[in-house]
Amino acid sequence: MRLRLLAAALSLSVPAFAQEPAAEELDSESEGLSAVDSVTAAPVTSEVPDAPPRETLSEPEGSEAAESAAPASEDPSAPSPHGEEVDVPAPVADEKSGAKVTFTGAPGEGFTLKSGDRFSLNVRSRIQLRYQFTSREVPGEARVEEQVVNIGTLRVWLGGNVLVPELTYLIQLALADRDYRDGATSPVYDAYIEYQPMRDLNFRAGQFFVPFDRLRTVREWALQMTERPRPVAELTLDRDVGVMAFSDHFLGDDSPFAYRAGVFGGGGPNLSGGKEPGALLVGRLEFRPLGKIDDDKEGDLDRRTKPGIALGGAFAANINTNRQRSTTGATYVGGVADYLHAAADVVFKWRGFAFQAEYLWKEASEDTIVSTTADGSALTEFTRSGQGWVLQASYAFEPPLEVVGRLSRLYASEGTDPALVTEIERRGQEVGFGLNYYLNGHKFKLQADYIGRMPGDFDFSLADHGVRAQLDATF
């Protein structure tokens, strides 16, 4: 009797999952994750073939019991990699659909739970331990030196598919203090649903990166330097809420052409207040003449033997925005403005060498917004217009040691915000170099770099100097 009770208890210890419409792997372009990799390629797997249902484990109608799992080897009695015997619970089958429940995981890929083709959930996280020393030039005063030691960023991703493999979702939460920019009070970075029913026309809806320039949409965990280039921070478009149509191989399975076209709210992420009606319209074209290339990650860590190149261009119009930098920055009090944006970029990789270049342009419909305050006084607010370029090159050695250098320049348009003009006169030129060591590619790396921002004549004596070191790890 005791043996029967013990056997039943062991069988019931297998977790049960409510029967819901299920999902497949996620695929995120923005700071994102490829759950396809995490679901299909993760080396640590727990899975057991279907087994006949047991009366003693029957579930109420409308639910299903999960199957238990064996280690990566197909023999459940095989020893674990650490030499310990693995105890595998008895398999349980879904009485209705017979769908298998699998649980996989790998370093940098998180854990993925999958129930047939109708549901999957991938969970992973990222932490960045950061040291920063800066020395800033203050006109007419002594230099100001500061040190910051903190958690540079802390992210959590939840993603997968639901109902059918083509319908995926992604949620990204940013939890570190440094992630709360422009007075944000919400930790939501990405929150969208994606549907890919066909090769030439797919859809994404929610909050995500506006598909504008490559150096902003490249995944943050895949950056070679600890800060994005200054022209990108000033001239790009950030996350926004909207709908996007896209294709990665337009008009052919081997086509080198891709496109992105979207309509967004135009006010940036996590808006809680209203503004005058308007919209952000954006279109982007991409061309990869030599075939597939991982242009959403910086550097050539794979030291590819075949050269790869990606060319991109984009145009955007933000109508009636109340943000100073179009989708980021301070919020205007006295009105709205229109912004036009243009971008062109190139990425090249071959045998450990990587090069990327980008040109950005932004122009406001008017230089000032003039209004009257509650006490009757005049209020003048400035828009910010300008252009800039970025050059960045790197070489990855074997073992995985990499050197990287950057040069960028920012220019202010005539009549634009005087504060921007002054800032560019003092810090419009950017020079940087870095050294990276990769323990698990971009998913686990040590980074150290120097970035100097100075006048356009490379006067380092007037530069703002920044030295940073960080451990960046995705689990």
Nearest to 171 by CA among 185, 157, 151: 157
Element (H, E) at 246: strand 239-247
For 326-357, letters b (16+ CB in 10 Å) and e give bbbbebbeebbbbbbbbbbbbbbbbebbbbbb
Q: Which pLDDT value is given to residue 97?
A: 56
pLDDT band for position 98 (50/70/90)?
Answer: low
Flag whether pLDDT at 76 surpasses 60. Answer: no
Give the 3-state DSSP-derived string for 107-165, with helices as H, strands as E and coil as C: CCCEEEEEECCCEEEEEEEEEEEEEEEEEECCCCCCCEEEEEEEEEEEEEEEEEEECEE
Instruction: State the fold for domain 198-475.
Output: Porin (2.40.160)
Element (H, E) at 450: strand 444-454
Cβ–Cβ under 8 Å, residues 407 and 376 = no
Lowest mean pLDDT, pick from 83-92, 104-113, 327-336: 83-92
Query: Residue 427 and residue 454: Cα distance in Å, rounded?
Result: 4
For residue 254, give every residue at least 6 positions away whose Cβ sits within 8 Å of its Cβ, in sequence order, or none: none
Phi, psi dihedral angles at 464 (to 5 degrees):
-90, 120
Average pLDDT over residues 410-422: 96
Amino acid code (one letter) for 137 = E
Q: Which pLDDT value is given to residue 137?
A: 84
Average pLDDT over residues 33-51: 39
The CA-based dihedral angle spanning residues 70, 74, 75, 79, taken in that order and rounded to the nearest 10 degrees: -70
> How confident is the model over 255-296, as pLDDT tens digits?
999 999 999 999 998 877 788 899 999 999 999 999 999 999
Q: Which pLDDT value is given to residue 438?
A: 97
For residue 256, give every residue at least 6 positions away whose Cβ sits within 8 Å of its Cβ, in sequence order, or none: 287, 288, 289, 291
Flag whether pLDDT at 238 surpasses 60. Answer: yes
State CA 189 to chain mean position distance. Answer: 9
For residue 291, give every residue at least 6 positions away whose Cβ sits within 8 Å of its Cβ, in sequence order, or none: 256, 306, 308
Cβ–Cβ under 8 Å, residues 14 and 67 = yes
Residue % of the chain over a pLDDT of 70: 79
The three-state secondary structure class of 235 is helix
pLDDT band for position 2 (50/70/90)?
Answer: very low
Query: Residue 420 and residue 366: Cα distance in Å, rounded?
Result: 15
Average pLDDT over residues 358-372: 95
Residue % of the chain over a pLDDT of 90: 69
Flag whether pLDDT at 189 surpasses 80. Answer: yes
pLDDT band for position 38 (50/70/90)?
Answer: very low
